Structure 1
Amino acid sequence: MSFQRSLLVCCDLRSYGSADDLLQRELQELLVRSLDRAGAAAGLDRSTWRRQAKGDEEWAVLPATTPEGDVVDRYVRALDAELAATNRYRVPEAKLRLRMAIHFGTTVEGANGYPGQDAVLVSRLLNSEPAHAALEQSPSSDLVVVLSDSLFTSLVAAGYTTLRPEDFRRVDVRVKAFRGHGWMWLPSGDVHALVLDSAPDAEPGAPVPPDPVSPVVNSPASVNQNAVASGGSTVIQAGHDAHVTHQKADVIQHFDRNDQRGSHFGPSYRRDTDERA
């Protein structure tokens, strides 16, 4: 059993299954070429990577000595530039567009791949709904990257790359039985402009906020109201603790009490005289 801790890098093509056989073959060739060129541009020797080819997907375990910053920073930037050059004159249906997930963890060689929780984690990041939505909602972007929380915190948020933590967005990841989160980045887009069905954005490194507390006071015997009217309308204010910030009504009617037994009207005031009506 070969055990090591290293970077796990997965990538997957968008809309590969809807392409015909000729286009699928071409996309596979473009995928390998783009990854190899990006690796060379970043000074990485991809021939030393343990790679599993899956048609529209590549699952790679990098040597333990590979600098993490070179992969997360230089390699990703080079790949984004390579994809832009490849797609410049291609119709949208034939463009090479990728989701990529990166995690640093434990890898063990198995009989048919890499078993273990770290291998599961990077696959879940890759196949997460936010990653899919990013390419759908940002047609000008050819690459979306999702980093694991531990990798983002120890590498990007700690300042060991040229990447800006504020360019990343914390996203919920729910795939099958997996529940977690990652940090998503669009090298050629604005990840914060995406509409995602997830928890609100969190600042990089900030603690996860608690669930919101309902603003409704648990008091079945009273009702607080706040209303604003203009012209000849009437503003009705319930209770002595209620407050109307801007009262533009000619007549203001108060309730002395508002409860489950019924409402009781108090005095009315006219704005022009400030006297009781």
Structure 2
Amino acid sequence: MFDEPVSRRIVVGDIEGWSSRDSRTQRDLRHRLREVLNRAFTESQLPWREWADIAVSAADRGDGLLIMIPPDVSIVRLLDPFVDRVAVALRHDRHLHSDWARMRLRLAIHDGEVLPEGSGWAGHDVIEACRLVDAEPLRQALRDEPEADVAVIVSERVHRAAVRDGYGNIRPETFTEVDVVVKTYQARAWVHVPGIGIAQPSSPRKEPAAVNGTHQDGSRKKPGMPPDDEDDHHTEGDYRAPTDNAVSYGARFNATKIEMTVSGGNVILGGRQGRVVGRDNQENHGGRVG
């Protein structure tokens, strides 16, 4: 019987900064890595326990795990929700350990054909997945985001199958295209750091600059004046320049002149109106407030 390859989803996880740890910490990290991945798979409702006979720990990697997943598991689910569940599990693990023992993970996700070999796996797609997890752009992503606990890289095949069209809650704009060169391996891939790379809220809208005293909307409002629907009874000539640290305004309501000064967080009404100190206290000066 001829050897035939089998299709597998390939996940490789490597612990960042492995060689700098002492032997006991390394042993502890390996144990915790299994717990983190088990928790992420379970919370993603993926049958981790059912894969026990095909999920292989690559002893020659030392600092991580090589996991083979049946092809009937959607590649989309390994990105959503599995990747986010890994990030949550790592964050939980981080709260339980010192900074020295902190676990940060590089994760590679690939899809391909592999050959069973004893207790392990062989084939070019296995090599590709291992090269991806060692890629410098992936390592740099963790260096650039010190608060991140995991950085993910996906092969072009996975990107085309699951990321490009934004299946599920996957956001293609959060994946950065990179060139991977590891030894003789060269390829294009995409790096994603969960929670990073999401569009930031837009800056507050600025008032358009006035040209010859007239704004783009045709008004001639001065800075600090109320919106159009609140200043129908104000006239431009009633507003005077601020003095010292206070900002003063003036207006006319029918025949009554009102002067208002904002100083130190207080609003002071002058003229025939009263004086308001803070938000609650009122002190009348020749008039009624309200």
Partner of 1:119: 126
8 A Cα contact 1:11 1:98, kept in partner: yes
Task: Count residues in correspondence.
Answer: 192
Deviation for aligned residue 1:20: 1.0
Q: Deviations over 1:27-59 (max 9, x none)?
A: 111111110011100001222332232342100
Partner of 1:34: 36
The alignment status of 1:51 with 2:58, answered yes or no, reads no
Alignment counterpart, residue 6 of structure 1, candidates 8, 26, 41: 8
Cα distance in 1 for residues equivalent to 2:76 and 2:66: 19
Partner of 1:175: 182
Structure 1 stretches (4+) deviating beyond 3 angstroms?
Answer: none
Alignment counterpart, residue 97 of structure 1, candidates 99, 104, 107: 104
> Partner of 2:114: helix, strand, or coil?
strand
Q: Deviations over 1:206-230 (max 9, x none)?
A: xxxxxxxxxxxxxxxxxxxxxxxxx
| 1:6 alignment partner AA | R
Partner of 1:19: 21
8 A Cα contact 1:185 1:191, kept in partner: no
Cα distance in 2 for residues equivalent to 1:90 and 1:191: 28
8 A Cα contact 1:156 1:165, kept in partner: yes
| 1:185 alignment partner AA | H
Q: TM-score, normalised by structure 2?
A: 0.62
Deviation for aligned residue 1:4: 1.7
Cα distance in 1 for residues equivalent to 2:106 and 2:10: 14
Cα distance in 2 for residues equivalent to 1:13 and 1:132: 11
Cα distance in 2 for residues equivalent to 1:61 and 1:144: 20
Deviation for aligned residue 1:160: 1.9
RMSD: 1.8
> Partner of 2:20: helix, strand, or coil?
coil
> Partner of 1:147: helix, strand, or coil?
strand
| 1:21 alignment partner AA | S
Partner of 1:256: none
Q: What is the percent sequence identity of the aligned residues?
A: 28
Q: Deviations over 1:117-170 (max 9, x none)?
A: 211111111110111111122110000000001111221112323111000000
Cα distance in 1 for residues equivalent to 2:19 and 2:56: 19
Q: Deviations over 1:247-266 (max 9, x none)?
A: xxxxxxxxxxxxxxxxxxxx
Cα distance in 2 for residues equivalent to 1:191 and 1:109: 39
Partner of 2:81: 74
Deviation for aligned residue 1:3: 2.6
> Partner of 1:43: helix, strand, or coil?
coil
The alignment status of 1:107 with 2:114, answered yes or no, reads yes
Which structure has the larger Rg? 2
| 1:90 alignment partner AA | H
Cα distance in 2 for residues equivalent to 1:69 and 1:13: 24
Cα distance in 2 for residues equivalent to 1:173 and 1:161: 27
The alignment status of 1:157 with 2:164, answered yes or no, reads yes
| 1:95 alignment partner AA | R
Alignment counterpart, residue 144 of structure 2, candidates 137, 140, 145: 137
8 A Cα contact 1:157 1:165, kept in partner: yes
Deviation for aligned residue 1:111: 4.3
The alignment status of 1:62 with 2:97, answered yes or no, reads no
| 1:26 alignment partner AA | D
Partner of 2:259: none
The alignment status of 1:184 with 2:184, answered yes or no, reads no
Structure 2 unaligned spans of 5+: 200-290
8 A Cα contact 2:14 2:133, kept in partner: yes
Deviation for aligned residue 1:112: 6.4
> Partner of 2:121: helix, strand, or coil?
coil
> Partner of 1:73: helix, strand, or coil?
coil
Q: Deviations over 1:55-99 (max 9, x none)?
A: 421001101211222112111111111101110253332111100
